[in-house]
């Protein structure tokens, strides 16, 4: 504040002229002293004035506002697609509160929508630092890459702060409008196409439905199925591929005739991202439906006989039409039940593309069925698919199965057991063994057996006699010596086989006879001659035979015990007892 007047008086005037842009909203502050700044202040006597300021008046209410209100930022509508009738709202944030006078005109924002200039008019915010402008989207407006905010114009109105400073209309901090899209065009269904082949015998078919742009709200209720003949089915699902393309699946299809898919004409709720409703419906193409399922007419079985390990049992399943087998997910099979327990399987081996499929069971070692195999009642898909010539799933139930009562399996080797038929230990020179097989066998002869001896035992294999188809008696003669004797049956090279030709499964050795030879008993020794009896002494006339033994008198005779007398009492009878 520079000196302006008062020299020669006691009141000096200093002045600050407020410059544009200066502002103090809470009161100016005055320094503590006058700065001479090259000048001088003296009284009439030439004394320098004391420059310290005293009793400075309050300045908290002295405010400065020489700054024009400016735009701090511009908030734009959220990113999205806006349809006709949608309101776009913009908020212009200012550096301070502004009063808006619309008596001469309404301020507005200039917008660029698809290359066309439109205006968002001021609607509220006067007296605050946030002015609101809005634009209502009109039919025909289109902007696919984002609108633009160009400028703010007073348009005859006034915008100023409380000090009367006019607002600076330059826009800064405008939000990103690249995602603010304008779409007032209704979407349309552009196509319904079949995905699967026609005619079809499948229980499920699919359609692709496309739209002119991305839409939402597509569901099963938006479509109708059109049938002819006895065909029927229902919509199972509607899924989107990319917002513009949808897949409609129809399943549970039965009967014969045609199946068509149509998009309803109205009330679907389908709209684009801007909210524009679908413009109309669409009629789709039809499928020719043939659901007459291929079925099994007969099953040819192997010839009667007994099959051994490594041999094949082939079953031919004949259908009413050609059948295509897809075994990429697994191999079809038929269950076969054997006497050995559990279930084995005849697997598909050939015939795809014809009306006769071949299934094969290769007999494995240990399998057995003595009264005819049993087949399951259907083909097990096991992950595979069987389709008829028209694409229908095949009915897998088996019918017309040939008799399998004579189709038998014997892949079990016969076994043998040897037991002793005599007692052990034994000293017999002829011994017998009983050899029993678990089934009827042939080819048993003496060359299949051998003797195992221990100690000094020797013997000869005399004969092998068949008792029945499973039992044989083996006789060993000339047994001598002592020790053990066993009978061994050797399977390798024996030539022993069952009726199916299975060879003896393993060698076997009997338990052993214990051989003990009887030793001759020694002759008894002669009895010794009795010694002559001594003759007693004395007169022979009075001899006693045998003589009487006299008692031994060397022992003293017992003496008679004599009781003693009563000892006399020497106590005075006059004394008390």
Question: Does residue 310 form part of some domain?
Answer: yes
CATH number of the domain that 348 lies in? 2.60.40
> Which residues, 6 or more positions from 541, have their beta carbon under 8 angstroms from its beta carbon?
none
Task: List Cα–Cα distances, 179 to 134, 453, 481, in angstroms.
Answer: 17, 106, 116
Which candidate, 113, 105, 100, places its Cα nearest to that of 166?
A: 100
Domain boundary among 410, 432, 459: 410
What is the spatial distance between Cα 516 and Cα 428, in angstroms, rounded to a whole number?
9
Give the pLDDT score at 561.
Answer: 54
| 279 vs 549: which has the higher pLDDT | 279
Domain boundary among 488, 515, 542: 515
Q: What's the structural domain count of the chain? A: 5
Determine, yes or no, domain membership for 368: yes
Instruction: Establish if 371 belongs to a structural domain.
Output: yes
pLDDT at 539 over 70: no
Residues 214 and 284 in one domain: yes
Q: What mean pLDDT do residues 344-358 have? A: 95
- Whole-number pLDDT of residue 63: 87
Least confident of 164-178, 362-376, 561-575: 561-575
Confidence class for position 278, pLDDT limits 50, 70, 90: very high
- Say yes or no to pLDDT of 557 above 80: no
Q: Where are the alpha helices (DSSP H) in 108-239?
A: none
Residue 399 inside a domain? The answer is: yes
- Judged by DSSP in three states, 448 sits in helix
Dihedral (CA of 447, 449, 452, 458) sign: negative
Amino acid 563: pLDDT: 54
CA–CA dist 66, 126 (Å, integer): 20
The C-alpha angle with vertex 78 and arms to 73 and 83, in degrees rounded to 5, equals 130
* Local confidence band at 391 (pLDDT 50, 70, 90 cut-offs): confident
Tell me: do 177 and 78 sit in the same domain: yes
Q: What's the pLDDT at 84?
A: 92
Residue 448 forms part of a structural domain = yes
Question: Do both 308 and 403 map to the same domain?
Answer: yes
> Above 60 in pLDDT, residue 553?
no
Mean pLDDT for the stretch of residues 313-318 = 96
The CA-atom distances, in angstroms, between 68 and each of 90, 181, 191, 375, 502 are 22, 34, 60, 100, 115
The pLDDT score that the predictor gives to residue 179 is 94
H/E element holding 235? strand 232-240
Query: Are the C-beta atoms of 231 and 257 separated by less than 8 Å?
Result: yes
pLDDT grade, residue 227 (50/70/90)?
A: very high
Specify if 523 maps to a domain.
no
Separation CA 466–CA 441 (nearest Å): 11
- The predicted structure's pLDDT at residue 67: 82
**Using only C-alpha atoms, what is the Rg of the chain?**
65
pLDDT at residue 239, rounded to an integer? 96
Is the Cβ–Cβ distance between 290 and 392 less than 8 Å?
yes
The answer on 317 and 406 residing in a single domain is yes
Tell whether 387 and 442 lie within a shared domain.
no
Angle (CA) 418-421-426 rounded to 5° is 115
Please give the share of the chain, as a percent, with pLDDT higher than 90: 75
Q: Is the pLDDT of residue 73 over 80?
A: yes
Tell me the per-residue pLDDT of 452-501, one tens digit each, with 9 for 90 and over: 999 999 999 999 999 999 999 999 999 999 999 999 999 998 999 998 89
Tell me: do 77 and 57 sit in the same domain. Answer: no
Residues 142 and 117 in one domain: yes
Q: Percentage of the chain surpassing pLDDT 70?
A: 90
At a CB cut-off of 8 Å and minimum separation 6, what does 560 contact? none
Question: Per the omega criterion (within 30 degrees of 0), is the bond before 463 cis?
Answer: no
Determine the Cα–Cα distance for residues 25 and 61; give it in Å rounded to an integer: 9
Based on the fold, state whether residues 469 and 404 are members of the same structural domain. Answer: no
Note whether residue 558 is domain-resident. Answer: no
Q: Which among 494, 515, 536 is the end of a domain?
A: 515
Nearest to 89 by CA among 77, 72, 81, 74: 77
- Give me the CATH number covering residue 236: 2.60.40.1220
- Report residue 22's pLDDT band, with 50, 70 and 90 as the boundaries: confident
**480 is in which domain, residue-wise?**
416-515
Are residues 160 and 86 located together in one domain of the fold?
yes
Torsion of CA 508, 509, 510, 511, to 10 degrees: -130
The pLDDT of 174-184, averaged and rounded, is: 94
Tens of pLDDT, residue by residue over 255-271, are 889 999 999 998 999 99
pTM of the predicted model, to two decimals? 0.44
Please state, in angstroms and rounded to a whole number, the distance separating the CA atoms of residues 347 and 110: 79
Which pLDDT does position 550 carry in this prediction? Answer: 58
Q: How much is the pLDDT for 518?
A: 76
Residue 98 has pLDDT above 70, yes or no: yes
528 class by beta-carbon count within 10 Å (0-12 exposed, 13-18 middle, 19+ buried): exposed
CA separation for the pair 494, 472 (Å, rounded): 15
Is residue 555 predicted with pLDDT exceeding 70? Answer: no
Q: pLDDT of 394-451, one tens digit each?
A: 999 999 999 999 999 999 999 999 999 999 999 999 999 999 999 999 999 999 999 9
Does residue 54 sit in the same domain as residue 87?
A: no
Say yes or no: 228 and 176 in one domain: no
Question: Helix or strand or coil: residue 241?
Answer: coil
Per-residue pLDDT at 533: 64
- Pairing type for strands 483-489 and 471-480 reads unpaired
Name the band, by pLDDT with cuts 50, 70 and 90, for residue 389: confident
Task: Classify burial at 45, counting beta carbons within 10 Å of its beta carbon; exposed 0-12, middle 13-18, buried 19 or more.
Answer: exposed
When pLDDT is cut at 50, 70 and 90, the band that residue 292 belongs to is: confident
pLDDT at 523 over 70: no
Residue 393: per-residue pLDDT: 83
Task: List the one residue out of 483, 433, 432 whose CA is nearest residue 456.
Answer: 483
Q: Between 486 and 550, where is the model more confident?
A: 486
Assess if residue 9 is contained within a domain: yes
Helix then strand then coil, in percent of the chain rounded to 5, is 0, 45, 55
* 316 and 399 share one domain: yes
Give me the mean pLDDT over the 21-32 stretch: 88
Q: What local confidence, expressed as pLDDT, does residue 361 receive?
A: 96
Q: How confident is the model at residue 532 (pLDDT cuts 50, 70, 90)?
A: low
């Amino acid at each position: 504040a520079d000196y302006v007047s008062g020299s020669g008086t006691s009141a000096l005037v200093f002045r600050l002229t407020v410059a544009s842009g200066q502002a103090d909203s809470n009161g100016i502050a005055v320094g503590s002293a006058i700065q001479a700044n090259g000048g001088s202040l003296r009284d009439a006597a030439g004394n320098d004035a004391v420059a310290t300021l005293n009793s400075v008046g309050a300045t908290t209410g002295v405010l400065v506002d020489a700054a024009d209100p400016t735009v701090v930022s511009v908030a734009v509508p959220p990113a999205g697609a806006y349809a006709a009738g949608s309101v776009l709202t913009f908020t212009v944030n200012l550096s301070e509160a502004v009063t808006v006078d619309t008596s001469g005109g309404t301020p507005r924002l200039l917008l660029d929508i698809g290359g066309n200039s439109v205006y968002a008019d001021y609607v509220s915010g006067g007296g605050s630092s946030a002015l609101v402008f809005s634009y209502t989207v009109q039919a025909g407006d289109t902007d696919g890459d984002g609108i633009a905010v160009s400028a703010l114009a007073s348009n005859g109105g006034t915008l100023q702060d409380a000090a009367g400073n006019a607002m600076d209309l330059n826009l800064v901090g405008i939000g990103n409008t690249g995602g603010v899209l304008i779409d007032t065009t209704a979407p349309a269904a552009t196509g319904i196409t079949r995905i699967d082949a026609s005619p079809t015998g499948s229980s499920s078919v699919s359609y692709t439905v496309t739209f002119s742009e991305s839409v939402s709200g597509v569901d099963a209720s938006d479509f109708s199925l059109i049938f002819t003949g006895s065909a029927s089915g229902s919509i199972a699902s509607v899924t989107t591929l990319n917002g513009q393309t949808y897949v409609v699946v129809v399943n549970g299809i039965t009967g014969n005739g045609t199946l068509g898919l149509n998009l309803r004409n109205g009330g679907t709720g389908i709209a684009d991202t801007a909210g524009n409703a679908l413009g109309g419906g669409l009629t789709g193409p039809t499928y020719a439906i043939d659901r007459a399922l291929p079925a099994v007419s007969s099953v040819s079985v192997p010839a009667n006989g007994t099959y051994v390990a490594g041999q094949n049992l082939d079953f031919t399943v004949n259908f009413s039409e050609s059948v295509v087998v897809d075994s990429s997910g697994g191999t079809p099979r038929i269950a076969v039940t054997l006497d050995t327990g559990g279930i084995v399987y005849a697997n598909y081996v050939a015939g795809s593309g014809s009306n006769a499929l071949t299934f094969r069971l290769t007999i494995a070692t240990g399998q057995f069925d003595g009264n005819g195999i049993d087949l399951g009642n259907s083909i097990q898909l096991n992950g595979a698919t069987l389709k008829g010539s028209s694409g229908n799933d095949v009915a897998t139930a088996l019918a017309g199965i040939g008799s399998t009562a004579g189709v038998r399996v014997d892949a079990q080797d016969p076994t043998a057991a040897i037991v002793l038929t005599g007692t052990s230990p034994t000293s017999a020179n002829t011994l017998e063994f009983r050899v029993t097989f678990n089934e009827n066998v042939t080819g048993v002869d003496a060359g299949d057996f051998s003797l195992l001896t221990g100690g000094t035992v020797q013997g000869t294999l005399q004969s092998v006699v068949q008792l029945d188809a499973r039992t044989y008696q083996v006789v060993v003669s000339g047994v001598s010596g002592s020790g053990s004797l066993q009978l061994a049956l050797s399977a390798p090279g024996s030539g022993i086989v069952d009726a199916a030709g299975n060879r003896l499964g393993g060698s076997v050795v009997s338990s052993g006879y214990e051989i003990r030879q009887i030793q001759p008993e020694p002759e008894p020794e002669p009895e010794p001659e009795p010694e002559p009896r001594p003759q007693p002494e004395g007169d022979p006339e009075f001899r006693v035979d045998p003589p009487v033994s006299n008692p031994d008198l060397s022992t003293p005779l017992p003496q008679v015990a004599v009781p003693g007398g009563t000892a006399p009492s020497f106590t005075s009878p006059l004394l008390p007892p």
